[in-house]
């Protein structure tokens, strides 16, 4: 694979920050966008812009075709059985909230158990806390071991008939841990629990097959996989989506409306009230085309190479603590330096043109578990390079000298 040429597809990477070449290692927060995605947005607004679905004129039909074609692309990317199982949302957060509100309000009752893990992003924790409050259900968590993996020895006691919801992150944004989602969903299914996987760090990074995983729902965001911000999807097994009440009421999600009552369209339209983010969806489609042109397996292998190099080199730094298992891991390394608070380190790195992220990474309970106020995180995508990893090491060595 010609990775140097692929890098040139990302015009933003070719710039100086504070007098140094930009090294963008904040991909787990949001990836950069290739030219083809940016051009797809411009093309839509310059040539096809119109509202979707209701129009009988040329532009509306073009916009509708472009918009709806993306549903199939998403379905194929994640192995859904049919494209009607894909609901467009603003991203992972909105997808989880949809399920934690609508599914939960219909099917959760007092005393039921919602089983999560100790490494969930707040967006797969707070919505369930709200659902528990509303329903009287009880929240439980699979604990995290010192090495950053889940303590699966607790499953026998935690995965009981009372568990009605099991939800966990596919790849942890704070540890890099790749959870055994297939095995976990099988255990959850065996006790009759509904399953939802948070795939924010997985889709576009590793091959994802929702049918092989065996989950009921799968949530992800476009902006971490080369698509625009504000767009993502919820996969839901069709029979489950069909059994659920609508979420937002409004245009597009109804068949017939009287002043008193309405009846609702079948999924996915039932969950997509109002004018959607048409450009965002088209951008998501362009991102999927782009990623497929490289190949998800090649992307996974490239990210694993960069991550392995970074992990090995970083473990040589004096006074560093690396969190999460060495391997397998997602494309990130989170760490704590004895000599510097993460915010101070990230500010120092910024003066050298290096974009890291420091803080709790929306996983405050996990930071408490590891007894750190926060961590610094370097996260990679396929357009990063070995030379950038070496440049980060130079900057981290300078930081150790500076702060010690
Ligand atoms: N889950 C995980 C594991 C994440 O990394 C993120 C983004 N940091 C989210 C959920 C939330 O994604 P979004 O903000 O795109 O809704």
With a 6 Å cutoff on the Cβ, whether 201 touches ligand 1 is yes
Q: What is the pLDDT of residue 181?
A: 98
User: 200 CA to middle of ligand 1, Å?
Assistant: 5
Decide if pLDDT at 283 tops 90.
Answer: yes
Once rounded to an integer, what is the mean pLDDT over residues 274-295? Answer: 98
Confidence bin at 129 (pLDDT 50/70/90): very high
Closest ligand 1 atom number to CA of residue 91: 16
Decide if pLDDT at 307 tops 90.
Answer: yes
DSSP secondary-structure letter at 26?
B
Q: What is the pLDDT of residue 153?
A: 97
Q: What is the pLDDT of residue 237?
A: 98
User: 199 CA to middle of ligand 1, Å?
Assistant: 8
- Nearest CA to 102 out of 123, 84, 127 is that of 127
Q: What is the pLDDT of residue 385?
A: 98
Q: What percent of the chain has pLDDT over 90?
A: 98
Q: Mind telling me the catalytic residues?
A: 362
Q: What is the pLDDT of residue 151?
A: 98
Q: Please tell me whether residue 361 adopts helix, strand or coil conformation.
A: coil
Decide if pLDDT at 398 tops 90.
Answer: yes
Once rounded to an integer, what is the mean pLDDT over residues 89-99? Answer: 98
User: 171 CA to middle of ligand 1, Å?
Assistant: 11
Decide if pLDDT at 340 tops 90.
Answer: yes
Confidence bin at 2 (pLDDT 50/70/90): very high
Confidence bin at 357 (pLDDT 50/70/90): very high
Report the chain's C-alpha Rg in angstroms: 22
With a 6 Å cutoff on the Cβ, whether 121 touches ligand 1 is yes
Closest ligand 1 atom number to CA of residue 29: 8
Once rounded to an integer, what is the mean pLDDT over residues 58-66? Answer: 96
Q: Residue 125 — φ and ψ, nearest 5°?
A: -130, -55
Contact of 28 with 171, CB cutoff 8 Å = no
With a 6 Å cutoff on the Cβ, whether 195 touches ligand 1 is no
Decide if pLDDT at 54 tops 90.
Answer: no
Decide if pLDDT at 319 tops 90.
Answer: yes
Q: Please report, to the nearest 10 degrees, the dihedral formed by the alpha carbons of residues 225, 198, 208, 6 taken in order.
A: 10
The DSSP H or E segment spanning 217 is: strand 217-221
With a 6 Å cutoff on the Cβ, whether 31 touches ligand 1 is no
Q: What is the pLDDT of residue 271?
A: 98
Q: What is the pLDDT of residue 325?
A: 96
pLDDT tens-digit readout, 143-190: 999 999 999 999 999 999 999 999 999 999 999 999 999 999 999 999
With a 6 Å cutoff on the Cβ, whether 379 touches ligand 1 is no
Confidence bin at 285 (pLDDT 50/70/90): very high
User: 94 CA to middle of ligand 1, Å?
Assistant: 10
Decide if pLDDT at 280 tops 90.
Answer: yes
Once rounded to an integer, what is the mean pLDDT over residues 318-328? Answer: 95
Q: What is the pLDDT of residue 55?
A: 80
What domains are there in the chain, each with its CATH number? 3-30+295-403 (3.90.1150.10), 38-293 (3.40.640.10)
pLDDT tens-digit readout, 232-261: 999 999 999 999 999 999 998 999 999 999
Which residues are CB-neighbours of 404 under 8 A, at least 6 positions away? 319, 339
Decide if pLDDT at 229 tops 90.
Answer: yes
Once rounded to an integer, what is the mean pLDDT over residues 353-373? Answer: 94
Closest ligand 1 atom number to CA of residue 92: 16
Decide if pLDDT at 316 tops 90.
Answer: yes
Q: What percent of the chain has pLDDT over 70?
A: 100
Query: Taking the complete model, does pTM exceed 0.85, yes or no?
Result: yes
Contact of 221 with 74, CB cutoff 8 Å = no
Average pLDDT, the chain: 97
- Nearest CA to 200 out of 237, 229, 179, 171 is that of 171
């Amino acid at each position: 694979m010609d990775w140097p040429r692929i890098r040139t597809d990302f015009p933003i990477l070719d710039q100086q920050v504070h007098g140094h070449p930009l090294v963008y290692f904040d991909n787990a927060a949001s990836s950069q966008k290739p030219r083809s995605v940016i051009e797809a947005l411009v093309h839509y607004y310059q040539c096809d812009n119109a509202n979707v679905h209701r129009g009988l004129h040329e532009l509306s039909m073009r916009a509708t075709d472009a918009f709806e074609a993306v549903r199939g692309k998403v379905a194929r990317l994640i192995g859904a059985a049919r494209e009607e199982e894909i609901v467009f949302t603003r991203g992972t957060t909105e997808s989880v909230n949809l399920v934690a509100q609508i599914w939960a309000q219909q099917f959760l009752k007092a005393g039921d158990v919602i089983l999560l893990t100790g490494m969930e992003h707040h967006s797969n924790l707070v919505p369930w806390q709200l659902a528990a409050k509303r329903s009287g259900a009880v929240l439980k968590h699979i604990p995290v071991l010192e090495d950053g993996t889940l303590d699966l020895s607790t499953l026998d006691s935690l995965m009981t008939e009372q568990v009605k919801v099991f939800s966990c992150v596919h790849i942890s944004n704070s540890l890099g841990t790749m959870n055994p989602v297939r095995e976990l969903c099988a255990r959850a299914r065996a006790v009759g629990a509904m399953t939802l996987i948070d795939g924010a760090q997985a889709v576009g990074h590793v091959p994802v097959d929702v049918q092989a995983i065996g989950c009921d729902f799968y949530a992800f965001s476009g902006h971490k996989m080369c698509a625009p911000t504000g767009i993502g999807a919820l996969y839901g097994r069709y029979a489950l989506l069909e059994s659920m009440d609508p979420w937002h009421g409004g245009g597009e999600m109804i068949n017939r409306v009287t002043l008193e009552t309405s009846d609702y369209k079948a999924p996915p339209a039932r969950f997509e009230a109002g004018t959607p983010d048409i450009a965002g969806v088209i951008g998501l489609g362009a991102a999927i085309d782009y990623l497929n042109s490289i190949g998800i397996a090649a992307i996974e292998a490239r990210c694993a190479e960069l991550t392995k190099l970074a992990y090995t080199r970083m473990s040589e730094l004096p006074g560093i603590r690396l969190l999460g298992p060495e391997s397998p891991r997602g494309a990130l390394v989170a760490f704590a330096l004895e000599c510097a608070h993460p915010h101070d380190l990230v500010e120092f790195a910024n003066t050298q043109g290096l974009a890291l992220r420091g803080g709790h990474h929306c996983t405050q309970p996990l930071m408490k578990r590891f007894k750190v106020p926060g961590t610094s995180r370097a996260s990679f995508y396929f357009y990063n390079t070995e030379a950038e990893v070496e440049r980060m090491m130079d900057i981290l060595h300078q930081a150790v000298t500076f702060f010690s």
